[in-house]
Amino acid sequence: MEPSDSSQSHEVPAQSSPVPIAQLSPTLDDVSRRSFHAVVTLVWPFSNSNRAFSLLLAEPDFRLRRHNGQVKVTFHGFCAEEVARTKVGIGDEVTLWLDGARWTDNEEAKATPGRGLPWDLHFEKRVKLKVTRSSECLATLEINRSPSPRAKEAIAFETVIPVTGIPRAEDHTGELRDQWESPAFLRSARVSLGSPLDSAFDPF
């Protein structure tokens, strides 16, 4: 039986190297092993139309929020559904791993330096997070929907075998009709049947 591609439990995920929100960047060393801790300050509810769920995450320390201390995180598709099911809300604390993150420019933050990070984070295939409420673990979530190396190899080497077309019945019928109507066939038929038409006047 193959392992599930998602899980939700109260177990603590593997340890990672925490990073202050202000230092989050796609150029971080070993970014896939990094995480950050934050408090939820705003929630965009799950949308059925675009299947997205977003959180505005900020530093727990108010003093650190003034200088790039908040970041918008958007989950997409299956990841969005699963994160929304945790019932995470404003005031909850979140530890979010950067593995699987896609970084996009935040034009609004760039226009107002210091207000927030110049990046937004997006998670589509993989996400790992822990949600805490009132010092109690509300949920931990780990999703990995990326194709396995074996599946990627199978896709890379997949070939299409052409199917030889089966000749249509009318093609064979046409060939037989041509044979029946040929002079050689008519002559051999008359000879074999002893036809009275086979005489000196036979043009064949």
The stretch 27-38 carries a mean pLDDT of 91
pLDDT of 4 > 50? The answer is: no
In the predicted model, is pLDDT for residue 82 greater than 70?
A: yes
Residue 32's pLDDT band (cuts 50, 70, 90): confident
Taking only the tens place, the pLDDT of each residue in 159-201 is 444 455 555 555 555 554 555 455 554 454 444 445 444 444 4
**Is 55 exposed, middle or buried, given 0-12, 13-18 or 19+ CB atoms closer than 10 A?**
buried
For the cut 80, the answer to whether the pLDDT of residue 43 exceeds it is yes
| 88 contacts 55 by C-beta, under 8 angstroms | yes
Asked if residues 21 and 40 have their Cβ atoms less than 8 Å apart, the reply is no
Residue 52 DSSP SS3: strand
Indicate whether 5 pLDDT > 80: no
Tokens at 146, concatenated: 């990326």
pLDDT at 58: 96
Q: Where are the domains of the chain?
A: 6-152
Six-digit token pair at 1? 């039986």
The CATH architecture of the domain made up of 6-152 is Beta Barrel (2.40)
Using a 10 angstrom Cβ sphere, with 0-12 exposed, 13-18 middle and 19 or more buried, the burial of residue 184 is exposed
Q: What is the largest CA-CA distance in the chain?
A: 121
H/E stretch holding 41:
strand 34-47
**Beta carbons of 127 and 141 less than 8 angstroms apart:** yes
* HSE, side-chain direction, 13 A CA sphere, residue 79: 21
Structure tokens at 58: 């900020």
Hunting for tokens 């093609």 — which residue is that?
171
Nearest alpha carbon to residue 101 among 57, 50, 160 = 57
